[in-house]
Amino acid sequence: MPALMFGKKICQWCVQHEAAQRGELGEDAPQPVMAAPWVRRESSVTLTQVLVGANVMIFVAMVLASGPSFDFTSPVMDHFGANFGPYTLTGEWWRLVTYMFLHGGLMHIAFNMWCLWDLGALCESLYGRWTFAAIYLITGIAGGLASVAWNPGVLSVGASGAIFGLAGALLASFYLGEFSVPKVAIQGTLRSLLFFIGFNVLFGALVSGVDNACHVGGLVSGLAFGALIARAAPDARYSVRRLLIFLAIFFLLAASAVGIAHYHGLPFRIGPSPFEHRASSRPAASEPTT
């Protein structure tokens, strides 16, 4: 659509198409079928599919460990690595990763995987596999830290912190114009992202048993991550800058973890928690089915 490109040609097909319209090419000239220039093809199996598969496999394992049953008790979620402040903040930092792959019930995982399948595919195609992986991991950790900072005594599970991180990164990148996509082509996507974020934050604020702190932590870190990439490393040529951004945010989160542990009066350490695991007496909270 040349009228929307302001004189810029964004792909070889557009240039060839205009040449054909001017009569510079014959009618039998081959017209190549090209992928969108912002899409990066890397493998037939995407990381989004791997993440969804991992979540489903762990959910099946939790069902089998429960009887089989979809009624997961706190000890089962604790055993699989739920995020729980007294354990996470006193050495079991791996829970900030494992909690992202656990879910509290069938509806919880169904809605989260639905959102991950759509947002993850879009984010992976635009950013590339490894940047997408970094955004997912970092924002999920940020959501987990926000959760234990706000609700240290509650078990938290779910992928929605990382999913909110993906939404935040995409929103910041689209708004700052990182991707070579005409503005008119992304207006619908921007509206959908804003509706997704607004609806789920409001839902989390009104419904009990929802770890909204995790959502906000993932969203804010995703917005920051997306903005930094858009401004400092807008495409794959700046891989070193993207790595530096990833490391800077990771160390910022590590410093935040030390501060959160100190704020709650817990000893900061790395290794098995000195607290006795009695998760059966603790309330369990899952993130909302987004």
Active site (catalytic) residues = 160, 215
Helix pair 212-232, 239-263: axis angle to 10 deg = 150
Residues 6+ apart with CB under 8 A from 162: 100, 136, 137, 139, 140, 143, 218
Amino acid at residue number 206 = L
Helix, coil or strand: residue 285: strand
Distance CA 110, CA 287 (A): 12
The residues, ordered by sequence, that sit 6+ positions from 246 with a Cβ below 8 Å of its Cβ are 134, 138
Q: Are 290 and 108 contacting, i.e. CB atoms less than 8 angstroms apart? A: no
